[in-house]
Amino acid sequence: MRPIELTIRAFGPYAESETIDFRELGDAKMFVISGKTGSGKTSIFDALSFALFGKANTEDRDSLSLRSHYASEDITTEVGLTFTIKGKTYIVIRQPQQEIPKKNGEGMRIVGATASLHAYDNNQDELLASNVRDVDQKMSEILQLTVDQFRQILMIPQGAFRELLIAPSKDKQVILQKLANTVVYSKMEELLKEEQKEQELGMKLLSGEVEQSLNTTFLPEEIEGKNALEVHSLFEGRITDAKIALKSAYEFSSIIKIKVENATKDVALSESRAIDWDKLDNLGKEIQALAGQEPEIEVKKQTILRAKRAENLRTQEILCGDAQARKQEVEANIIEIQKRIRSLREELEDVTQNRNRFAENIPMQEKREQEIFKLSELEVKIERLARNEKDLIAYENEMKLIMSALDILRNNVKEIEARKTNFSDEEKKLQTTKIRQKELENIVLQLENEYVTNQNMLENQELKEKNTALLLIMREKLKEVSTNYDTALATLKRIEHQIKNEQAASLATGLEDGVPCPVCGAHHHPRLAIQLGEGVDNLLQQAKADLENKKNLKQEEELAVEKVLWILEQAPNTPLVNVAQLSGRLQKIQADIQTYKAELVMATKMITKEDGLSKNIAWINKEIFELNIKIQEEDSKLQAIKAPAQQVLALVEMLKKEIPTEFTNSAVYYRKLRAKQAEAAVFEKDYQALEGNYFDKRENVANAETEFNSMQVSLQKVREQLEHNLNVFDKMLLQFEFDSHDAYKNAARSASEIEILEQACQEFQQQKFYCIQTEQELQRKLAGLDKPDVGTLKIKLAALQNEQFENEKAVFTITENQGRIESNFAQYLKLFAKIKDAEKLYADLGELAQSANGKNERNVGFERYVLAAFLDSILERANTRLAQMTEGRFYLERKQEKAKHNAQSGLDLSIYDEYTGRMRDVTTLSGGESFKTSLALALALAEVVQEMSGGISLETMFIDEGFGTLDSESLESAVECLLQTQQGGRLVGVISHVPELKERIGAHLEVMATNRGSKTVFKC
């Protein structure tokens, strides 16, 4: 990044717009910014940093404090920077959060920060971003630097130049973290620590599973105190015992199985023989029972013979029965016909009398038919009248519908016009709401800015009070440390004096009177020094070490006190405030913000209805126009219907004059006509029905008399047939040896009854034969054999089967127990293997995690190791420049020894002094030495950061103060070093009051302070 033009307005001490054009430097690559104290030199750096990052170069300045106190109220604070990077030109313009006068009324209001970023390429202006957030994001992409990196390596403010050099290891780590972005390594340390914890938890879970597996196999006292090898042997012993027991059970199973099979065969054989003995006894009894049934069987045989003879007469008997039934049927029919003839003759007499009476009403029917004829002649006119009246009603209804539609349309127009009026009122209210919205936005913004201001005041007050209290404590501690240092110094001097006395005493032991002293040359020695004791040299070393330690502690405390004092000095010089009152004020402001924001939300919601309201008004105007067109159309329809309706009305009035008044209503007419026609039809129907009934009755009487005569003839024939059949039946009774008809009836059986009797006789003979044959066979089979005792054999079999069952249960139990033990053993081996792997992984992971987190022989964590490497690369380049500026006297090194109290180390610096040949702490450097060393570090840091991020362009460096501590020779070497830096094209700006530096560097940017604000001018 190389600045081209910086424009400052109402910023810091610059009251009006001030433009610093770096192109005026020409070919000069290094310039000095000079001016009186407070003139605004550092403000130039603040403006550059604010333009690039939205933050001042010093951390203690907020946005509101950037505004110039010299500027008039109508001028807004603004910073614009034109710069180039990688061949592209950009313009960034920023306005910080600031107070401006209210537009209406007195007082000030706070407006928010704004920003914009433009790119220029081939004279084309392109807007890249137009708000603070987007500008910050784009600038980060373009610069590829954070504000912390920028402050450390490109624009080093006052007080921060020596920070990297003298900061303790812990503070240096924070600085390097920001520069090298090593958060990933810090996360790696945490990740390894978490992995170690998870692995430890996993091992505990595995141990619990192993214990659970062992408890399912052994009792606690069996495995107590046993190691893995002994547990392994216990498992194998249990499995071996189970296999032996299972083998024994299987052998017993084979023996018992043979015994059960033999006993089963014995029981089956004895049961078979017992069945034969029982069957033989039962057959004897059954043969005796069959002998007692033989008389009954003989009777059944005789019954069968008589029934078969009676079968020969059954057909004739049926013929006699049929003739008798036919005779009875004919006789009953004759009686029924006689009754029917009498009834029909009575009905015929009644019908004849009704026919004679009905004939008297025929003249009335003829008159009724004449009236119907006359009414029919009027039907055409009445129908025409009805049609025209219907048409007239249709016209009238249509006109009513049209007029009703017109009324509805006119009412709709009135309603819509009323709605239009309401919408117009809402539109006026909406305009008022929009004005109120703007007012609310300004009020909320002003309150938020006021809240930020008060919050910053409260934080500054609390920080100041905290640092003041801390300063008191630290001064007390410094006093204590200083006392300890003075005590250690006095002790050292006392021991050194004692050593001198010891040396003199040692020399005195060799002196003799008359012999000259090797120190003073005297020949007489009246007062010889006396040697006091031994071990003084050891006390001297301890005293020096103790003094060095006390000195380091004192320097650390002095540095800490100076740092707190510097923070208090750099703090904004704000008046003391009442914290409680300010907190109450903040709460009230916050409550007011919430209230106004709620009102703003309601106003915004109302304004969102604006588009809908405009659309509604446009839609209403369109609807009113369309309704007026419809009203015109309906009115035209009404006029078109009136003419034909009047013609139909005249025709209706004419027809009503031609038709009797009573029949002008077609319904009355048709009712009268239908009534007459119905009366005539009823008379005609009744007359035809009566005539038909009369002739039907005559015909029925004649048919009944004919049927009666035919029945008399049939009865005579049936009687003759019955007599013939009876004579034939009597002859057959004698033929088949039946004494009477009753004897025949007793002997007669149905075919099914005969079949049952025959089957019973046959089954008796078969059963008798079977029993005799089977009895003879069983007698031969059981000859010489006793009846067996089946119960005793079954008891023996049951005992054997129970013994077999118990053995099978034992086999199952042993098998299941063996499988369980083998399964638990396999699980144990698997878990044991997992534990071994887990222990190894835990050991490796634990060692790695502890080492990564600094628990190693050097107390250096993973991130700090990376930072140490980063610092080594910086030191390598810094030492080249430091050697040039100090003529090879100083050489920076990173301390390798462990820190005390297990604190992490590895980033502390020490410096080798060629004059003394010893290493010493960097805090012992003088002001000038410290500046040269810090400058070398800053230049080296810029190189390393640029190498680490290939896309970063570091073409500029600004340094605020520090050269005043150098002597002329050191100043010359520092300038030479800076000049070598800018030979690669880098622009270097230095704030300094040193006259020699201004003389050495030709280009100057003079900052002149006036009572109306500061001004700048380049002098090259």
The ranges assigned to domains in the chain are: 2-144+954-1019, 223-290+784-817, 302-360+668-747, 379-507+536-611
Instruction: Copy the structure tokens of residue 70.
Output: 């010299």
* Dihedral angle sign, alpha carbons of residues 689, 694, 700, 702: negative
Q: What is the model's pLDDT at position 964?
A: 59
- Cα–Cα distances in angstroms (integers) from residue 727 to residues 315, 318, 1011, in the given order: 14, 14, 175
- The pLDDT confidence band at residue 901, using thresholds 50, 70 and 90, is very low
Q: How far apart are CA 140 and CA 126, in angstroms?
A: 18
Mean of the pLDDT values across residues 942-962? 71
CA gap 57, 42 in Å, rounded: 9
Angle between helices 379-508 and 579-607 (to 10 degrees): 150
Is residue 159's pLDDT more than 70?
Answer: no
Express each pLDDT in 794-810 by its tens digit.
888 788 888 878 888 88
More confident residue, 520 or 622: 622
Among 859, 851, 951, CA closest to 906: 859
Q: How far apart are the first and last CA of the chain?
A: 22
Q: For 302-360+668-747, CATH number?
A: 1.10.287
Do 990 and 972 contact (CB within 8 A), yes or no? no
Does residue 973 surpass a pLDDT of 90?
A: no
The region of weakest confidence among 377-381, 500-504, 600-604, 866-870 is 500-504
pLDDT at 658 over 80: no
Q: Where are the alpha helices (DSSP H) in 886-986?
A: 927-948, 968-982
Question: Is pLDDT above 50 for 902?
Answer: no
Q: Which residue has the tokens 């109290």?
A: 901
Which two tokens mark 80?
């614009």
Other beta carbons within 10 Å of 366: 9
Instruction: Kindly report, residue by residue over 141-151, the tens digit of the pLDDT.
Output: 888 777 877 77
CA distances from 612 to 423, 426, 618 (A): 11, 11, 10
Write the CATH number of the domain with boundaries 2-144+954-1019: 3.40.50.300
Confidence of residue 116 (pLDDT cuts 50, 70, 90): very high
Q: Which H or E run contains 128? A: strand 124-129
Minimum mean pLDDT among 88-92, 173-177, 183-187, 530-534: which range?
A: 530-534
Average the pLDDT over 194-215 and give the result: 75
> CB count, 10 Å around CB of 9?
20
Predicted pLDDT at 34: 86
Distance CA 65, CA 173 (A): 31
Beta partners for residue 893, in sequence order: 910
Instruction: Please tell me the predicted confidence (pLDDT) of residue 984.
Output: 60
Please state, in angstroms and as integers, the Cα–Cα distance from residue 365 to each residue in 65, 357, 359, 361, 689, following that order.
128, 14, 11, 7, 16
| Residue 94 CB-half CA count within 13 A | 28
Judged by average pLDDT, the poorest of 32-41, 153-162, 994-1003 is: 153-162
Residue 93 has pLDDT above 90, yes or no: yes
Q: In angstroms, what CA-CA distances link 1017 with 49, 138, 921?
A: 20, 32, 43
520 φ, ψ to 5°? -105, -15
Say yes or no to pLDDT of 514 above 70.
no
Mean pLDDT of the chain: 78
- Contact at 8 Å (CB) between 1016 and 986? no
pLDDT higher for 503 or 476? 476
**Does the structure show a pLDDT above 80 at 475?**
yes
Nearest residue to 931 via CA among 383, 163, 39: 163
Residue from 87, 71, 77 nearest 50 by CA: 77
* pLDDT per position as a tens digit, 521-568: 665 666 655 554 555 667 777 888 888 888 888 878 887 877 777 777
pLDDT for residue 890 is more than 60: yes
Average pLDDT over residues 197-214: 75
Q: What is the DSSP letter of 56?
A: -
pLDDT score of 904 more than 70: no
Tokens of 1011: 């009572």
> Is the whole-model pTM more than 0.85?
no
Give the model confidence (pLDDT) of 738-763 as tens digits: 777 777 777 777 778 878 877 888 88
Q: Which of 177-191, 258-272, 786-800 has the lowest mean pLDDT?
A: 177-191
Q: How confident is the model at residue 507 (pLDDT cuts 50, 70, 90)?
A: low
Residues 97, 453 contacting (CB under 8 angstroms): no
Q: Calculate mean pLDDT across residues 984-1009.
A: 80
Residues 291-343: pLDDT tens digits? 788 888 778 777 778 777 777 777 777 788 888 888 888 888 888 888 888 88
Residue 966 pLDDT exceeds 70: no
Give the CB-side neighbour count of residue 737, counting CA atoms within 13 A: 6
Residues 462-479 have a mean pLDDT of 83
Residue 80 has pLDDT above 90, yes or no: yes
- Write the burial class of residue 319 (CB in 10 Å: 0-12 exposed, 13-18 middle, 19+ buried): middle
Q: What percentage of the chain has pLDDT greater than the value 70?
A: 86
Q: If pLDDT is split at 50, 70 and 90, which confidence band does 94 have?
A: very high
Query: Rounded CA gap, 299 and 649, in Å?
Result: 116
The share of the chain scoring above pLDDT 90, in percent, equals 4
Q: Give the model's pLDDT for residue 59.
A: 58
pLDDT of residue 105: 62
| Buried-exposed string 734-757: b where 16+ CB fall within 10 A, e elsewhere | eeeebeeeeebeebbbeeeeeeeb
- Comparing C-alpha atoms, which of 636, 564, 602 is closest to residue 406? 636
pLDDT at 535: 54
Distances in Å between the alpha carbon of 905 and those of 168, 184, 389, 880, 899? 10, 20, 119, 25, 5
